[in-house]
């Protein structure tokens, strides 16, 4: 006995051109490079969240201490990364050259050249504050709420598509 199973084509009735147009429309509606960044701190940091204004102050060195008195150590992504572009757009509100000059004039900065290096630096440096792609979060660090929202909640500010 021979059994033949025939699957129906879900695009039945649509030509190849329409399938290509549909795929292109999906890609254009949400940028392929869209990222959502989570604000991460070392496990000993008990702060649950902060406002975007307070976070911006920390990244601009206007606020250099955590509520418990420890120094803030910024762990930043490399200058040419999409993560740094989001940071400049959402928190610094400055031209890239201005941000470069600001960062060059301060010492409590670590540049992470990979997501793994970002996680390891934040995990091991007391007072560290960093940003990591939401899909790279591990249990080695704590995630801070920004304006009361976690990274995948509607209205979260550190998303490249907003």
The band of 159, judged by pLDDT with boundaries at 50, 70 and 90, is: confident
Tens-place pLDDT, residues 94-144 = 888 899 899 999 888 999 999 999 999 999 999 999 999 999 999 999 999
**How large is the C-alpha radius of gyration of the chain?**
21
Spatial contact of 133 and 160, defined as CB atoms under 8 Å apart: no
What's the burial of 59, exposed, middle or buried (CB within 10 Å: 0-12/13-18/19+)? buried
Query: Does residue 161 have a pLDDT over 60?
Result: yes
Domain at 37-146: CATH code: 3.40.190.10
The band of 21, judged by pLDDT with boundaries at 50, 70 and 90, is: very low
The band of 20, judged by pLDDT with boundaries at 50, 70 and 90, is: very low
Mean pLDDT for the chain overall:
83
Give residues with Cβ within 8 angstroms of 22, minimum separation 6: 14
Helix (H, G, I), strand (E, B) or coil at 126: coil
Map out the domains of the chain as residue ranges: 37-146
Give residues with Cβ within 8 angstroms of 65, minimum separation 6: 71, 72
Spatial contact of 144 and 132, defined as CB atoms under 8 Å apart: no
């Amino acid at each position: 006995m021979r059994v033949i199973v025939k699957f129906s084509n879900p695009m039945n009735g649509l030509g190849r051109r329409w399938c290509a147009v549909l795929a292109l429309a999906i890609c254009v509606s949400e940028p392929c490079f869209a990222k959502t960044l989570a604000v991460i701190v070392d496990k000993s940091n008990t702060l649950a969240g902060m406002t975007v204004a307070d976070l911006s102050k920390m990244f601009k060195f206007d606020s250099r201490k955590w509520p418990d008195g420890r120094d803030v150590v910024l762990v930043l992504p490399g200058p040419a990364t999409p993560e740094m572009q989001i940071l400049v757009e959402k928190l610094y509100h400055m031209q890239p050259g201005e941000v470069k000059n600001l960062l060059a004039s301060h010492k409590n900065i670590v540049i992470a050249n990979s997501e793994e290096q970002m996680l390891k630096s934040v995990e091991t440096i007391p007072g560290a504050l960093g940003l990591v792609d939401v899909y790279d979060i591990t249990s080695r660090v704590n995630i801070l709420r920004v304006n009361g929202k976690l990274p995948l909640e509607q209205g979260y500010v550190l998303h490249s598509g907003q």
